[in-house]
Amino acid sequence: MNKGEMIDKIAADTGLSKTAAAQAFDSVIKNVEDTLKKGQKVTIVGFGTFSVSKRKARTGRNPQTGAAIKIPAKKVPKFTPGSDLKKTVAKAK
């Protein structure tokens, strides 16, 4: 499912117009992004938790030349599914 299909589904489920559904969806995504930028986590009970994980700097290899390269430390987004989501996916056929 892509963003457009998700917005269509939200509009159909809630009775909102597609424009209003798109605004609501964009607002949710923006608020999750803004919270993660602050280093905080977002927990949606039953669905999961979005958080920020820190990766240490490390040495990697260039696959073409085999030369060692330095990979800098960085922050990456992380999602941990909640128990209800895990159960729902496990039941799916």
- Sorted by where each begins, the domain ranges of the chain are 1-39, 41-93
**pLDDT, tens digit (0-9, with 9 covering 90-100), for 1-59:** 999 999 999 999 999 999 999 999 999 999 999 999 999 999 999 999 999 999 999 99
Q: Are 61 and 68 in contact (CB under 8 A)?
A: yes
Return the H-helix or E-strand segment holding 80: strand 74-81
Range 57-67 average pLDDT: 94
Quick one: pLDDT at residue 92?
82
Tell me how far CA of residue 90 lies from CA of 35, 83, 84, in angstroms. 30, 10, 10
The secondary structure of residue 57, as a DSSP letter, is P
Quick one: pLDDT at residue 93?
74
Whether 72 shows a pLDDT value over 90: the answer reads: yes
Q: Which class is domain 41-93?
A: few secondary structures
Quick one: pLDDT at residue 26?
97
Tell me how far CA of residue 3 lies from CA of 36, 40, 52, 70, in angstroms. 20, 25, 23, 36
Range 76-93 average pLDDT: 93
Quick one: pLDDT at residue 23?
97
Q: Is the dihedral of CA 49, 52, 58, 61 positive or negative?
A: positive
The secondary structure of residue 17, as a DSSP letter, is -
